């Protein structure tokens, strides 16, 4: 992207603020995974225990620090995620009892918009120690409840809410979309 995505402004709010608003619609106990000096002004911060190993390290750090059984994880670069869907996802996690509850859109699971039980931390740590940083293969080793396209359509959720912003072109498209 060439810039820190957390502080990009969309409709007068940073992407970090958008993500925090969604997370706080679920719980008052919200933590930010990242660098303390960068994010401390926005809320409690948890730093990676395995720095430089990507999103799995962030999930691991959050779960290790958590006292909650269910933990909603959201990436800050999905500004169109709907709070209602986040609450639905948590409810499905509660009902299913699965270790991971995750949406799948167009065949792609969305591990950075998912609910994880704390037990996932042990599998994540094992993978991180072996420098296997990909989240999705771990799902095969845990009970995973998938919310698929058909369920999203039935609930009238737009699957584009999972569009994330990784390139300047995607950022430009998001800005245009937000103006509509």
pLDDT computed for residue 2 by the predictor: 66
pLDDT computed for residue 1 by the predictor: 59
CA distance 81 to 163: 8
* Residue 68 burial (CB count, 10 A): 12
3-state secondary structure of 61: helix
H or E element at residue 33 = strand 32-33
Mean pLDDT score of the chain = 93
What digits encode the pLDDT tens for the residues 80-109?
Answer: 999 999 999 999 999 999 999 999 999 999
Number of domains observed in the structure of the chain: 1
What digits encode the pLDDT tens for the residues 22-56?
Answer: 999 999 999 999 999 999 999 999 999 999 999 99
CB 110 within 8 Å of CB 136: no
108: region left, alpha or beta (phi > 0 left; psi from -120 to 50 alpha): beta
3-state secondary structure of 103: strand
Range of the domain at 140: 5-179
The residues near 95 (Cβ < 8 Å, ≥ 6 apart) are none
CB 4 within 8 Å of CB 19: no
The residues near 29 (Cβ < 8 Å, ≥ 6 apart) are 68
The residues near 58 (Cβ < 8 Å, ≥ 6 apart) are 33, 34, 48, 73
Q: Phi first, then psi: give them for residue 114, nearest 5 degrees.
A: -150, 165
pLDDT computed for residue 180 by the predictor: 76
CATH of the domain at 149: 3.90.550.10
On whether the pTM is more than 0.85, the answer is yes
CA distance 78 to 173: 13
* Residue 150: both structure tokens together: 């058909």
């Amino acid at each position: 992207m060439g810039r820190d995505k957390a502080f990009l402004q969309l409709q007068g709010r940073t992407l970090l603020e958008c993500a925090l608003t969604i997370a706080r619609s679920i719980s008052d106990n919200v933590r930010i995974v990242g660098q303390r000096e960068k994010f401390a002004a926005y809320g409690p911060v948890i730093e990676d225990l395995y720095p430089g190993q990507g999103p799995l390290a962030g999930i691991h750090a959050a779960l290790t620090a958590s006292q909650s059984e269910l933990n909603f994880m959201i990436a800050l670069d999905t500004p169109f995620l709907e709070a209602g869907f986040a609450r639905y996802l948590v409810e499905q996690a509660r009902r299913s009892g699965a270790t991971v509850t995750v949406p799948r859109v167009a065949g792609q699971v969305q591990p950075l918009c998912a609910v994880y039980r704390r037990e996932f931390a042990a599998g994540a740590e094992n993978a991180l120690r072996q420098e296997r940083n990909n989240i999705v293969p771990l799902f095969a080793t845990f009970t995973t409840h998938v919310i698929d396209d058909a369920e999203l359509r039935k609930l009238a959720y737009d699957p584009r809410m999972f569009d994330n912003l990784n390139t300047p072109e995607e950022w430009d498209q998001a800005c245009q979309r937000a103006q509509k």
